[in-house]
Every structure is written in structure tokens, then in C-alpha cells.
Amino acid sequence: MTAVPPPVWPQAAPSRRWGAGRVVALVFAILLLLPGVGLVLGGGLLLWADGPGRDDDGYLTTPDDDFSTTGSALVSENIELSDTGTDWALVESWLGTARLDVTGADGTDVFVGIAPVAEGQAYLEGVARTVVDDLGSGADNGRLVPGGEPATPPADQDFWVAQSSGTGAQQLTWDPTEGDWLLVVMNTDGSAGVSVEAGIGATVPGLTGLAWGVLIGGVVLLLISALLFVLAFRRGRRPLPPTGSWGPAPTGPPPAWSPPPPVDRHTARDATAAPPVTPGAVNPDRPA
């Protein structure tokens, strides 16, 4: 009879712990996940603005807002379009064409114009006016400069680089150029009490490239973050337990061994004496 080798009892596999590399991968995955999501959402919003967000003429516009003043003019803060070391031609092509839509309250005649800061301020010297800090928030955030009415109507001046005047809705378009500019809205006769509804817009042709750049950057960050998550949570391959002729070997620590108990031959079954056999007697276990 062939002897069967005893089963092999391998040691239990040690539990996998989080090493420094996995912790670092997880931290960087989380740090890249948050800006990645933000860039993807921002890029999607910019793509929406570049498509359905434009009007029929291709302009991105702000909602119309009400502006009013007890003075004779509504004036913007200085619009500084100065060369700060960048390629101005690139900036100019990115901005595109600006547009201002103005409608006088109760059908009054209004004037809207763009002027160089020096000439515009010289014309408005001593004129009561409201300087609007934020064109998108109405005149409530403006400050009133006291004064009187201008000596001549605004349309009589020749320093305007773009202007529009008349009854009803007025639309001014302007290709921004390098310099410091002033936006002025007045009644056509220069009288006090200006009340208009206005909105601004621009073509911003560079928005398409910006939107795709932001979106692609976000996708790249999310892919890197996903890869780091996989590296952090990946489980290594465990070694297979050895197998023998009796199937897979048992795992875990081997059982403790102890010697067999001693056998008392006087009480054991094989130590019992056989009954005596009488000559001539029939053995009941022997067949006849």
C-alpha cells in the first residue's frame, strides 16, 4: 500500500496594508478630482454660452437693466484697454466687437457715445452726472457728481469714436482698440434727468478656443485622477495554495500534535481469550 504524504499546511497570507505609495496616490487622486470636475463644468458652461447663449447676431449679452440719474449724463468708469506687455492684436481679436443697446424711458430721445477719456472728461467738466461702477448692476452702485447741464448737446462734439442717437432703441457697435475710453449716455439735448434701459454685449470670437481648452484640461485631470484611484485601490495577486492528490491543501496553521493514548491489552478487544473448543462439538459458525 502506497503511503500518502501528509498535507502541507501553508501559512495564512498576511493582510495587505496601505503603504506610503498607495496613500500618496489616493491623496493626489482626490486633489486632481476636484479641479477636474470644476474645469469640465466650466468648459461645458462656456460651450453652452458659445452656442445657445448667443443671440441671433452672434453676441453674448447681459440682461437689460434700468439706469437713471437726476443729472445730465450716465458715465462709465474709465475703460482701460492698455498694452501691458501682451500682444494687443491677439487681445483685440479675442474681444471682437462690442455692442450697447439703449432705449430711452417713455420714448425720450437718447444719445450714446464712446469717447477718449481726456476729451470726454473735459466735455463733462462741471456737468451733473452719475458714474456707474458696474454696468451690469444698474445705477444704484453709481455715485452722483454734482453740477449743471452741458453748454452744448453731446452730438455736436467731434471726439466721439462711436455714437448713436435718436428716438426709441439705439444700438452702438464698437471695435475696441488700445487706449482709455469713456462710455456716455445722455438725453440728446443734454437736459437733466436721464432714464434708460440698457444692455451690453460682445462677439468674443476667442470663446470657442477657451471653452474647448478648459474642457479638455478638465478631462485630462479626471483621467489622471481615475488612474491614481486604480493604483491606490488595486489589490495584488495572492499566491495560489499548493494542491495534492486529495484536492486543495488545507490553509491556516497546522493542528497541534499529541501522542496517542496507551492501550491496555487486558481490556482491549483483541486481548480477550478465545473460548475453548470441545472435540466433536459442532461449530455453529461452520456451514454444515
CB contact set of 141 (below 8 Å; sequence gap of 6+): 132, 133, 134
Could you tell me the three cell numbers for 96? 471682437
Q: How far is the C-alpha of 107 from the C-alpha of 112, rounded, in Å?
A: 15
pLDDT of residue 106: 79
Considering just the CA atoms, what is the radius of gyration of the chain in Å? Answer: 46
Per the DSSP assignment, residues forming a β-bridge with 109 are 167
pLDDT of residue 240: 53
At how many degrees (to 10) do helices 20-50 and 207-233 cross? 160
The pair phi, psi for residue 130, each rounded to 5°, is -115, 125
Could you tell me the three cell numbers for 192? 437733466
pTM above 0.85, yes or no: no
Tens-digit pLDDT profile for residues 44-90 = 998 888 888 788 888 888 888 888 899 999 998 888 876 555 555 55
Could you tell me the three cell numbers for 232? 491606490
Burial category of 288 from C-beta neighbours within 10 Å (exposed 0-12, middle 13-18, buried 19 and up):
exposed
Q: Are 50 and 208 in contact (CB under 8 A)?
A: yes
**Any idea where the domains of the chain sit in the sequence?**
20-49+210-233, 71-202
pLDDT of residue 270: 54
pLDDT of residue 164: 93
pLDDT of residue 86: 53
Tens-digit pLDDT profile for residues 248-275 = 555 656 666 677 777 665 655 555 555 5
Could you tell me the three cell numbers for 229? 484611484
DSSP the chain: -PPPPPPP-PPPPPPP---HHHHHHHHHHHHHHHHHHHHHHHHHHHHHHHTTTS-TTS-EEPPPEEEEESSSEEEEPPEEE--SSS-HHHHHHHH--EEEEEEEGGG-EEEEEEEEHHHHHHHTTTB-EEEES-TTS-GGG-EEEP-B--SS-GGG-S--SEEEEEESEEEEEE---SEEEEEEEEETT--S-EEEEEEEEE--TTHHHHHHHHHHHHHHHHHHHHHHHHHHHPPPPPPPPPEETTEEPP-SSPPPP-PPPP--TTTSGGGSPPPP--TT---TTS--
Q: How far is the C-alpha of 169 from the C-alpha of 104, rounded, in Å?
A: 7
pLDDT of residue 136: 54
| CATH number for the domain whose boundaries are 71-202 | 2.60.120
Low-confidence ranges of the chain (pLDDT < 70): 1-18, 82-93, 134-141, 235-257, 263-288
